[in-house]
Amino acid sequence: MSPAPILSAFRQALGEAWAGGAGALLPLGFFAGAAVLVPLGIGTEPGMLRAVGPGILWVSLALSSLVTLERIFQADVEDGALDLWLQTSAPVSAIAAAKTFAHWLTAGLPLALMSPVLALMFQAEAGTDLLSGALIYGLGGLAFFFWGGVGAALSATVRRGGLLIALIALPLYVPTAIFGSMAMSGAAGGDSAPLLLVASTLFSLALAPFAMAAALRLAAD
């Protein structure tokens, strides 16, 4: 096996994400837009915004991962790239993982890096550790992207698969969302929440690539 196909898929996915017009700004814009709608929808009382802020950021992160993922494998099915991958010696699971990771790098990580700004806008208290917050959003986002990738691979041949991806992936997002919001809110029993969050992210990294590979072999038939 040679790593060349994996690297080329990774580079191609990075290129795709950057070439899409506004590059990484597009998901950032979506993330910010979704988060900013909330105070308009529920009111601007600072105490309430402080309470719901971390949760809103999780929801926006989940939504923007779903929006980004909709077409990551569809194009490869349509232009034949998938058939070529299946003929290389590199495992499809590694190629799928590399692509998903590239999309997290361009659309997930920037959101995590931007989260301190939004947290401040949501009236985070002075002294909140915004940087470890960003780390937690980043790790949680990785799990979102990998589970979402399973949904995207399964619906790669489905026209207008976006809603389907959401329905498939949302139950799989649950542990990450729960551990993530517990870690952010410092709720009772929240001490172990960051560790559990990392564990559930590792679980997704271990399992999702094989599910994506099985789904992509199906899509190529």
Partner 1 sequence: MGMLSAFANPHRFLALSNWLAPLFYALGAVLIGWGLWQGLYIVPKDEYQGGDIMRVMFIHVPAAWLAMASYSAMAVASFTWFIWRHELADIAAKAIAPLGATWTALCLATGSVWGKPTWGTWWQWDDARMMSVLFLLFLFLGYMALRAAMDSRQKAARAGAILAMVGGLNVPLIKFSVDMFTSLHQDSSVITSEGPKMAAVYLWPLLMSGLGHSLLFGALVMTLMRAEIWTRRAARQRARLLAGA
Which residues form the interface with partner 1 (CB under 8 A)? 150, 154-155, 157-158, 161, 164, 167-168, 170-172, 174-175, 178-179, 182, 189, 193, 196, 200, 203, 207-208, 211, 214-215, 218, 221
Residues 179, 142: contact at Cβ < 8 Å?
A: no
Provide the minimum distance between the beta carbon of 172 and partner 1 in the complex, in angstroms, as a whole number: 6
Full DSSP string of 75-97: HHHHSSHHHHHHHSSS-HHHHHH
In order of 18, 21, 122, 133, the CA distances from 54 in angstroms are: 28, 29, 8, 9
60 vs 181, which CB is nearer to partner 1?
181
26 vs 62, which CB is nearer to partner 1?
62
Cα–Cα distance between 144 and 204 in angstroms, integer?
Answer: 9
Per the structure block, which two tokens stand in for 14? 């990075």
Reference 122, options 181, 178, 55, 182; nearest CA is: 55
110 vs 175, which CB is nearer to partner 1?
175
Full DSSP string of 25-63: HHHHHHHHHHHHHHHHHH---HHHHHHHHHHHHHHHHHH
Q: How far apart are the first and last CA of the chain?
A: 23
1 vs 187, which CB is nearer to partner 1?
187
Provide the minimum distance between the beta carbon of 179 and partner 1 in the complex, in angstroms, as a whole number: 6
Provide the minimum distance between the beta carbon of 29 and partner 1 in the complex, in angstroms, as a whole number: 29
130 vs 220, which CB is nearer to partner 1?
220
Per the structure block, which two tokens stand in for 77? 């099915």
Provide the minimum distance between the beta carbon of 19 and partner 1 in the complex, in angstroms, as a whole number: 29
Provide the minimum distance between the beta carbon of 102 and partner 1 in the complex, in angstroms, as a whole number: 22
What is the helix, strand, coil percentage profile of the chain, to 5? 80, 0, 20
Provide the minimum distance between the beta carbon of 202 and partner 1 in the complex, in angstroms, as a whole number: 11
28 vs 164, which CB is nearer to partner 1?
164
